[in-house]
Amino acid sequence: QGTRRVPVNYAKQIVGNKQFGGARNFLPLKVNAAGVMPIIFAQAILFLPTIFTGYRGSGWASYFTDHTNGVYMVVYSVLVIAFTFLYTALIFNPKQMADDLKRNNGFIPGIKPGQPTADYIGTIMDRITLPGAVLLAMVGIMPGLFQLAFGMSQGFSTFFGGTSLLIMVGVILDTLQQIETQLLMRQYDGLMSSGRIQGRQAVASGM
C-alpha cells in the first residue's frame, strides 16, 4: 500500500464571477504497482524445467524444485525483479498520465507539461519500483529461508509464507477498502466520525 505522492497543482480559471481550479492535489504512485503477478510469472518460468524432465526434477532440473537451493533463490529473485519492471511498464503509462494532467490544467511544480512531465513521472516510477521488486523477491524466497533457518517442512513454510502470505494480506486490504468505500458512498457520517469503525481518511484528518 506504500505510495510516493507527487504534488500536482491546478491552474485557476475564472468564469464570470466564479473561480475554478487553483487546488493542490497529489498523484499517488504505488511502490508495488505490479502486485503478486511477478511472483506468479517467475514460478511459472521455474516450473518449465520440470516439464522437460517429466516432472521428476532430476539432474539439472533439481535446482529449480528445491526452494532451499541457492541457485533457485538467485534465479527466482532475478526473475521476480525483472517481471516486476516488465509488468509495471505494461500497466503504467506515464505519457497518458501527463496528457490527462495537461488536459485538466494540472501540472507538477517545476516541471513543464507534456513530455517532460511524462519523463519525470517515469523516472520516479523506475526509482520506487526497484525497492518494491526487491521486497517481492524477498517475499518469494521466504519459504526457503524459513526451511533453512527453522527446519520447517516445505509444505508448512510454503503455505504460511511467501506468496500465500502476500495474497492473504492483499485480499484483506482490498476487502477493508471495499467496505470503507461502501460506507463513504452511503454517507454514514455518524459511523465514520464517532463510531468504532473509522475510515483511513477520517483517521488521518483527525490526527
SS3 track for 69-127 = CHHHHHHHHHHHHHHHHHHHHHHCCHHHHHHHHHHCCEECCCCCCCHHHHHHHHHHHHH
pLDDT in tens, 119-157: 998 898 888 888 888 888 888 888 777 777 777 666 666
C-alpha cell read off for 30:
504505488
Residue 191's Cα: distance from chain center in Å? 30
Amino acid at 50: T
Residue 72 has pLDDT above 50, yes or no: yes
pLDDT in tens, 1-60: 778 888 888 776 665 566 555 677 888 888 888 878 888 888 888 877 777 665 555 556
For residue 160, which phi and psi values (nearest 5 degrees)?
-100, 10
Output the pTM of the full model.
0.70
Distance CA(101)–CA(118), nearest Å, equals 10
203 or 60, which is more confident: 60
